[in-house]
Structure 1
Amino acid sequence: RADSASPWQLPAVAEFSTSETMGHSADRLAAAFGVSRLEQDEYALRSHTLAKKAQEQGLLQDVVPFKVPGKDTVTKDNGIRPSSLEQMGKLKPAFVKPYGTVTAANSSFLTDGASAMLIMSEEKALAMGYKPKAYLRDFVYVSQDPKDQLLLGPTYATPKVLEKAGLTLNDIDVFEFHEAFAVGAPPLDKFNTWGGSLSLGHPFGATGCRLVITAAHRLKKEGGQYGLVAACAAGGQGHAMIVELYPQ
């Protein structure tokens, strides 16, 4: 129980207010919304397949090489592992046993990582000789019950940020959402088409920045104007942001 346990004694992926892991929350949401094991596996396979394709096409070029002491230099995302539905189907439930549907294959894996980006006014950027990649147009934060709605933050944040920006879903050219688990119903033709957290990993604290960077790069590559970035967070929070491609 959260009221009787030290936060430092809880697993790193547990929600502090409930002491429940995010995987248990995902399993419960999958059952509540009728998302099957097969649908989750299919979506996870999609993420890995798209990430592999993007990597092979040289689209994931924002990785800064890092020398790991005693090991080789990391030059690219190394968690991308396209598998098969047959292999994924052999894995046992990772959280709710024996009948859960969330497994290691359809969950984002823990990984080390960091990300950074520079944010300033357009006037300041141009004065310093920088060419912006994108505008940050609008953003919202929401919060809901962390017990039953822990991972639903993007669902609540998305309509609010669209309303704030005066846009509709049809105006959005690229979607970059944190896909902690394969439980959801996004517009797949525009959604995480270079892979996502399921295939690239989820380094806590770095994923949000990574999402914004990927959205900006996709807008430029695909000739879009608006990108929608969203993620869930601890405490039942949800964040959503509208980015707009800077004129080329």
Structure 2
Amino acid sequence: MSNNSRRTAIIGGMRTPFVKAGGPFRHLDPLKLSSHAVRGLLERFALDPQKVERLVWGRVIHDPRISNLAREIVFDLKLPARIHADLVSNNCITGIHALVAVADAIAAGHCEVGLAGGVESMSNTPLLFGREATRIFTDAALTKALGDRLKILTQLRPRHFKPQALGVKEPSTGLSMGEHAEISAKHWQIARREQDEIALRSHQRAAAATRDGRLKAEIFPLDGLDHDTLVRGDTSLDKLAKLPPVFDRGASGTITAGNASALTDGASALLLMSEERAAKEGLKVLAFVKAVEFAAIDPGDGLLMAPAVAVPRLLRRTGLTLEQMDIVEMHEAFGAQVACNLKAWEQGWQEEAIGRVDPEKLNPLGSSIAVGHPFGATGTRIVTTLANEMARRDARYGLVSICAAGAMAAALILERP
């Protein structure tokens, strides 16, 4: 992408407020949240839907009743039926995959105007029957004779009707993301206080950016809400220190509900255009996509440590340095994960050291711990926040770093002329 003369311009993004799962958006399914974000984007930039050629949408928690959510957004909003719309999914870097799919299409000349984004409704995750019950119901459904069907259904017992929530453990390791983060925190010797300090800074900065309107500027109000509800500007180190650890409940546990991102409902959409088309439409460009890097490592090396590989590789490939990045947006799955990757960048790990991040450059508007983390929406939310802040500061370069389950990561550089 960085060597292609056809640059992808970021015009802007819009999103729903991000709210705690089980809260004010629990009655809104992923389609409603998604359509709201896309509608807000079209209204904010007064974009004629007839000009949209591509829509790529992301979702992590799948609903088998809607296999291609992206296409349903097109129908729900009565957008032109000719719009090619497809769904992508890769844990917390899903939104970056959506962005890259549209950017690649623009770079290749397949389209000039595209929408990328994602959603998660953790309030509406599917509940599943166990494997035994599923087998009985499936066998019954595939049997034509009523008598045979009833005979199969007599195998059902009360235990079969107990629903199973989606699992949170990594299939490859049997451990949750939080348990993996605890392992990394111990390996990298990241103290509880350092994690709480990261969380406090995230809340304080997000609160300030909400008060001064910077975060509200990217939100399309929904159901009377015009702000993110997870932000706690009044928290303190003392309050955070009183919270019990949730993954390692022993004396050595460090990760709490206060220094980890919460389960969140929300959707985020991003408007991308070719540089030439943006000029033709008379739209201001916030930034251009310069380069993207994806990386994957062995989960045993640290499930959330792939940014320590992705970012150094990206900088080396572009010939840029960490010091040249005016703003660094690092996804905050956990305060521990942020601290571990920062330490790996500074000391070197599986790649050469790239240096220390100036704390003033890191997540200046807060990030996922305070703002929230709807898995499929986080990537485009972070890019929107970064591009807007780069334009405000007239910054030259901005860096995005996002870890993901499965021991993967995405890194992205935005640039302004």
Question: Quick check: TM above 0.5?
Answer: yes
Q: Are 2:246 and 1:97 equivalent residues in the alignment?
A: no
**Aligned partner of 1:19: which letter?**
G
Cα distance, 1:163 vs structure 2: 1.3
Aligned positions of 1:36-55 closer than 5 A:
36-55=191-210
Name the counterpart of 2:183.
Answer: 28
**Aligned CA distance change for structure 1 residues 74 and 17 (closer, same or farther; 3 Å):** farther
CA contact (8 A) 1:41 1:89 kept: yes
Question: Which has the larger helix fraction?
Answer: 2
**Aligned CA distance change for structure 1 residues 241 and 12 (closer, same or farther; 3 Å):** farther
Name the counterpart of 2:231.
Answer: 80
Q: Identity, % of aligned pairs?
A: 43
CA distance in 1 between counterparts of 2:178 and 2:395 reads 34
CA contact (8 A) 1:48 1:81 kept: yes
Name the counterpart of 1:66.
Answer: 222
Name the counterpart of 2:399.
Answer: 228
Q: Are 2:286 and 1:115 equivalent residues in the alignment?
A: no
Name the counterpart of 2:169.
Answer: 14
**Aligned CA distance change for structure 1 residues 195 and 13 (closer, same or farther; 3 Å):** farther
**Aligned partner of 2:287: which letter?**
A
Give a deviation string over 1:94-122, Cα, whole Å, max 9, x none.
11112310000000111101111122311
Give a deviation string over 1:113-165, Cα, whole Å, max 9, x none.
11111223111222233322110000010000123321112111111111121
CA contact (8 A) 1:92 1:103 kept: yes
- Partner of 2:290, secondary structure, is strand
- Partner of 1:127, secondary structure, is helix
Q: Are 2:292 and 1:139 equivalent residues in the alignment?
A: yes
CA contact (8 A) 1:10 1:16 kept: no
**Aligned CA distance change for structure 1 residues 44 and 207 (closer, same or farther; 3 Å):** same
Cα distance, 1:12 vs structure 2: 5.3
Give a deviation string over 1:149-189, Cα, whole Å, max 9, x none.
21112111111111121100111000111011112134311
Q: Are 2:333 and 1:168 equivalent residues in the alignment?
A: no
Name the counterpart of 1:180.
Answer: 333
Kindly report the root-mean-square deviation, in angstroms, between the aligned alpha carbons of the 2 structures: 1.8
Aligned pair count reads 236
Name the counterpart of 1:203.
Answer: 374
Cα distance, 1:64 vs structure 2: 0.8
Name the counterpart of 2:55.
Answer: none
CA distance in 1 between counterparts of 2:263 and 2:271 reads 26
CA contact (8 A) 1:10 1:19 kept: no
**Aligned partner of 2:300: which letter?**
K
CA contact (8 A) 2:286 2:390 kept: no
CA contact (8 A) 1:106 1:182 kept: yes
**Aligned partner of 2:407: which letter?**
G
Cα distance, 1:234 vs structure 2: 2.1
Structure 2: gaps spanning 5 or more residues: 1-129, 132-162, 343-356
Cα distance, 1:85 vs structure 2: 1.3
**Aligned partner of 1:105: which letter?**
G
TM-score by length of 1: 0.89
